[in-house]
Amino acid sequence: MNERKTNYPKSGRAFNEAVRSIPGGVNSPVRAAGGVDISPLFIEHAEGSKIYDIDGNEYIDYVGSWGPMILGHAHPKVLQAIQAAAEKGTSFGAPTLAETALAEKIIAAFDSIEKVRLLSSGTEAAMTAIRLARGFTKKDFIIKMTGCYHGHSDSLLVAAGSGLAESGSPSSGGVPDSIAELTIVIPYNDIDAARKAFEMHKGKFAAVILEPVAANMGVVPPMKDYLQTLRSLCDENDVLLIFDEVITGFRIALGGAQELFSLTADITCLGKIIGAGLPAAAVGGRADIMDTLAPLGPVYQAGTLSGNPIATAAANATLDILAKGNCYQKLESSAALLEAGLTKAAKDANIPLTINRVGSIMSCFFTERPVRNFADVRSTNIKQFKRFFAEMLKQGIYLAPSAYEAMFVSLAHSQQDIEKTIEAAQNTFPRLKN
């Protein structure tokens, strides 16, 4: 792999060393920062709203470990819970009271969840949800939306076929065509495409899976009545609706997108925030569906580290904090202030900018048109985003190193942080015209 130049010498050297022992130098592809043409920053520590690289630079962090750090980094109560749990042992492979406590908190937050299985990653949650839907319905086909990411299991690494509502094709090496053909890929926010898919493959679908608020192609909210109509279509066709709320769950409301948009899914995938930065996730839903999981039913799922006591302690501490006080009002206020400031800064500099925001997640798209699906995202000015990223980084603002990712506002972001970010944008936007 070619070495990339960097203005951050220690991180640059660390990356060049890493590529000798780690594929691509990173343990998850987006960390390679190839989408913004820099070497990745190597992080030394983080606290509150700030993150610090090994060169000693401080940044206001809007990545938040890709979403879970809703309280900010190294929150004292979460650290206390982790330390207390670790002192009792790091893993038992046996039930604990903390697992039941966490399950009950999740069930209390989501009206659609009657039972829940704890897992270790969002990928595992989505994979389990698909297997569960197929086992429950005795049907094999699923629908997913272009641009919605549900982890790297084989059924979900699928690109759109040659025609609307046609079988998908593998989007990764190692995914057999025979598996990809069971996934129909249609555009997000296109209810007519969903209707056509149901008509073309009538009686074959086990489930529709989607992010209710797309957040892996940047933030793309659902259009008016889209989710409600999709819910009705699933009911009419005896198909399960799976909401991947790995990002939105406990983020845009305590009960996620389902609370925000007043509707329910049959199966819900959760992650990110319930781990508070540790590997933890969950899949939950109606009791009759969930009871098909082993050991009660024929659908197998297992994991030695599922409900790990340290991750569960962090999750319980985080959800206890989020359930009290005015957390979501504060997140909304901070995010709205940031959105308004960035919008004004771009307008003052005559830079076309569309900001999509739902609660405390948002994306800046360099276009004057609305962004409603993955095709719209891909038509935006990616080169301009790369320059925006680089200029903001120089001024101490840490954004996701990809035009297809979200910004995350946390409870630790202060008004001063927001104002500094807006000031950096005011300095940056005029430079993007050159």
List active site positions. 149, 244, 272
For 374-404, the three-class secondary structure string (H helix, E strand, C coil) is HHHHHCCCHHHHHHHHHHHHHCCEECCCCCC
Helices in 19-148 by DSSP H: which ranges?
A: 76-86, 97-109, 122-137
Task: Find all residues with CB under 8 Å of 102, minimum gap 6, and list them.
Answer: 118, 274, 307, 312, 315, 316, 319
For 38-53, the three-class secondary structure string (H helix, E strand, C coil) is CCCCCEEEEEECEEEE
Q: Distances from the Cα of 392 to the Cαs of 62, 139, 339, in angstroms?
A: 11, 49, 15
Give the amino acid at 267. Answer: I
Which residues sit opposite 253 in a β-bridge?
249
Nearest of 74, 33, 79, 71 to residue 398 by alpha carbon:
33
Task: Find all residues with CB under 8 Å of 16, minimum gap 6, and list them.
Answer: 3, 25, 39
